[in-house]
Amino acid sequence: MTITITAFERSPDGGKGLARDTRVRWALEEVGQPYEVRLVSFRAMKEPAHLALHPFGQIPTYEEGDLALFETGAIVFHIAERHAGLLPVDANARARAITWMFAAVNTIEPPILELGTAKLLEGDKPWNKARLPLVEERIRNRLAQLSTRLGDADWLDGAFSAGDLMMVSVLLRLKSSGILDEYPNLAAYVARGESRPSYKRAFDAQLAVYTGKPPTG
Ligand code: GTB
């Protein structure tokens, strides 16, 4: 059955791979599933046809036969459940990998998103100068804890899993802030994720949308 995802017709990040279709593309590449992409404009995202797929009018969505999903955590989990390669077979190890998926979107991602909001949408507010360091501090607290847990391991719990895919995807958003580099083991962890051939294919595919040129790999 054909898998179709949606992505920005024109990503505001200029193809840096920060829009959330990249993590879905990455998961599909990891498990070797081909997929098609339907590009949507900001206007089309708010129209009934897209809202029927995504109640919040966002990308990405995931369609496979009569199944339609939204929310990247749920989409990546679905891919990982249906295809080998992203979740361990052992039941306890599998549960732990799923826990890391939730930790990525529930515990690590929220303060990182707050930083984006504070910088991009609230820069002109009189209280922004006082708020920004507080948001950055919340991120540092979480990164310090995550850094301690990762230690000198390659991945969060044994072999690379959907938990790492989600965590690396979430942390990538911090690269331009410089905060990630304060935690060398986390910076190396993200670089390890980015160096996976499946990530590179996903990255190149989303970049090709922006440049209009087909991926070279
Ligand atoms: N919780 C949802 C999920 O994980 O699927 C969040 C989905 C979401 O935020 N989608 C964004 C969207 O559709 C695109 S990824 N936004 C349009 C809208 O809400 O109207 C977020 C994103 C957007 C842009 C950049 N960027 O330019 O760097 C990075 C990330």
Ligand 1 atom, smallest distance to 20 CA = 15
pLDDT value for 217: 65
Atom 5, ligand 1: residue with shortest CA distance? 71
Continuous segment of H or E residues that includes residue 207: helix 197-211
The SS3 of residue 211 is helix
**Per-residue pLDDT tens listing for the chain (217 residues):** 999 999 999 999 999 999 999 999 999 999 999 999 999 999 999 999 999 999 999 999 999 999 999 999 999 999 999 999 999 999 999 999 999 999 999 999 999 999 999 999 998 999 999 999 999 999 999 999 999 999 999 999 999 999 999 999 999 999 999 999 999 999 999 999 999 999 999 999 999 998 888 787 6
Rounded Cα–Cα distance for residues 128 and 135 (Å): 10
Residue 18 in contact with ligand 1 by CB distance below 6 A: yes
DSSP string, 51-103: HTT-TT--S-EEEETTEEEESHHHHHHHHHHHSTTSS-SSHHHHHHHHHHHHH
Ligand 1 pocket mutation pick from 11, 16, 18, 20 by most atoms within 8 angstroms of CB: 20
Domains of the chain: 3-85+198-211 (3.40.30.10), 91-196 (1.20.1050.10)
Q: Tell me, in angstroms, the distance from the centre of ligand 1 to residue 59's CA.
A: 6
Question: Helix or strand or coil: residue 202?
Answer: helix
Q: What is the pLDDT of residue 214?
A: 78
pLDDT for 215: 81
For residue 80, what pLDDT is reported?
98
CB of residue 23 inside a 6 A radius of ligand 1: no
The answer to whether the CB of 206 is under 6 A from ligand 1 is no
pTM for the full predicted model: 0.97
Integer CA distances (angstroms), 188 to 102, 103, 115, 211, in order:
22, 19, 22, 28
- Using left for φ > 0, alpha for ψ between -120 and 50, and beta otherwise, residue 70 falls in beta
State the pLDDT at residue 212.
85
3-class secondary-structure state, position 135 = helix
13 lines ligand 1 (CB under 6 A): yes
pLDDT at 213: 83
